Amino acid sequence: MTPEAAVGLVVVAIAVLAVVALLAWRSRRKQGSAPARRTEAAARDAARVADRVVDRVAERAPTAAAGPSLRDRLGKARAALAGSLASALDRPSISEEAWTSVTEALIRADVGLTTSSEIVSAARARVEAGGDGQVDAMAALRAELRDRLGRVDRSLARRDDGAHPSVWLFVGVNGTGKTTTIGKLAKREADGGTDVVLAAGDTFRAAAADQLAMWAERSSAHIVRGAAGADPASVVFDAVESAAARGAELVLADTAGRFHTEQNLMAELQKVRRVAEKGSGVVTETLLVLDATTGQNGLAQARQFIEAVDVTGVVLTKLDGSAKGGIVVSVQTELGVPVKLVGVGEAIADLVPFDAAEFTDALFA
């Protein structure tokens, strides 16, 4: 090795040592913040992983407690109707056959024959009045549907005499989602600061009261239940008196599912309705719970219940499932009863107020 090379090596070695020393000094100086940064980075990574897990869980169980979007939950209903309408109307001039296809698409989506024809005639009149191509056929259809769903009062009524309790009675055939809806509403009302009492008026099966008790626990609501086979009217009466004694504002009364064709059961329901008002309570809502997936058959059920008890609103459940969505339009236009709430899943947060504009947009978008 030449002396120059040796000197060069020494200089390089000194330089390397100096850099190492400098780095060591800086790392010592920042010892406090480096672990914090590492912790932050690790936390960010963990959050990203958690987000991915949550996303995956949400994919598997779309009913997770996150606020449900009607648009997202109407996936199937939307795809079916929007697809048919787009293929019929996506052309410069709309032929007679195209309008027929639109009518058929609406009927397939459970809008019902009469209502579908009326909607299409009215939309067609709008388009024709607008002259050639001036009014978009899809927009006309959407506006017509929205108008028909209208601006009705969808609020859930309470007593306006300042006294308590108000009673909301839930009726409907078996399996439509009465108990589940009560559970979701109990949570919503309790979260809003209302003292809620649940009445386990389904005394047909012991399991029914247990199911309601589980929801009561989740919403911290008080529950009144009777012995298996007890008179449902007396259970509801006791719940109303218990609510009055506690100063609770609201009683949500469950009833046993019944076939709308069974006259004695419908009579029993009328008795529950009467007895619920015998003491300190006033029934301010009688909500018919309809399973949207039953389509037009739901309408037949609804007619019977409306005849038997004074139905003030409809809760349309399972709109997240294979329901076609159009049943909302039939229920309201053919029965004249407002759809007040829709169920979009089995979880506690899966109940949303019905919004005509949002619903129409969701169906078409």
Ligand X SMILES: Nc1nc2c(ncn2[C@@H]2O[C@H](COP(=O)(O)OP(=O)(O)O)[C@@H](O)[C@H]2O)c(=O)[nH]1
User: In the complex, which residues of this chain contact Mg ion (CB under 5 A)?
Assistant: 178-179
- Rounded to 5 degrees, what angle do the CA atoms 115, 119, 122 make? 140
Q: Six-digit token pair at 72?
A: 């997202």
Q: What is the three-class DSSP state of 145? A: helix
Q: How many CB atoms lie within 10 A of CB 331?
A: 23
Of 202 and 238, which CB lies nearer to Mg ion in the complex structure?
202
- CA dist 167 and 18 (Å) reads 82
Strands (E), 86-149: none
**Cβ 316 to ligand X, closest distance in Å?**
8
User: In this structure, what are the phi and psi dihedrals at residue 22, rounded to the nearest 5 degrees?
Assistant: -60, -45
**Cβ 87 to ligand X, closest distance in Å?**
29
> According to the binding rule CB under 6 A, does residue 35 interact with ligand X?
no
With tokens 């169980």, the residue in question is: 61
Q: Six-digit token pair at 347?
A: 């979880």
- CA dist 43 and 222 (Å) reads 41
* Count of chain residues binding ligand X (CB under 6 A): 19
Kindly identify the residues of this chain, within the stretch 231-290, that bind ligand X according to CB under 6 A. Answer: 257, 289
> According to the binding rule CB under 6 A, does residue 318 interact with ligand X?
yes
346 binds, among Mg ion, ligand X, none (CB under 5 to 8 A by kind): ligand X
Pick one of 320, 326, 327, 359: the residue that binds ligand X (CB under 6 A): 320
Task: Confirm if 203 and 231 have CB atoms less than 8 A apart.
Answer: yes
> According to the binding rule CB under 6 A, does residue 328 interact with ligand X?
no
Q: Which residues contact 66 (CB under 8 A, 6 or more apart)?
A: 58, 349
Binding mask 159-178 for ligand X (x = CB under 6 A): -------------x-xxxxx
Of 127 and 326, which CB lies nearer to ligand X in the complex structure?
326
- CA dist 38 and 219 (Å) reads 40
**Cβ 48 to ligand X, closest distance in Å?**
30
Binding segment for ligand X (CB under 6 A), chosen from 129-137, 142-150, 325-333, 338-346, is 338-346
> According to the binding rule CB under 6 A, does residue 325 interact with ligand X?
no
Find out whether the peptide bond into 338 is cis, omega within 30 degrees of 0: no
Kindly identify the residues of this chain, within the stretch 207-236, that bind ligand X according to CB under 6 A. Answer: none
Of 279 and 321, which CB lies nearer to ligand X in the complex structure?
321
**Cβ 246 to ligand X, closest distance in Å?**
25
Residues making contact with ligand X (CB under 6 A)? 172, 174-180, 257, 289, 317-318, 320-321, 343-346, 350
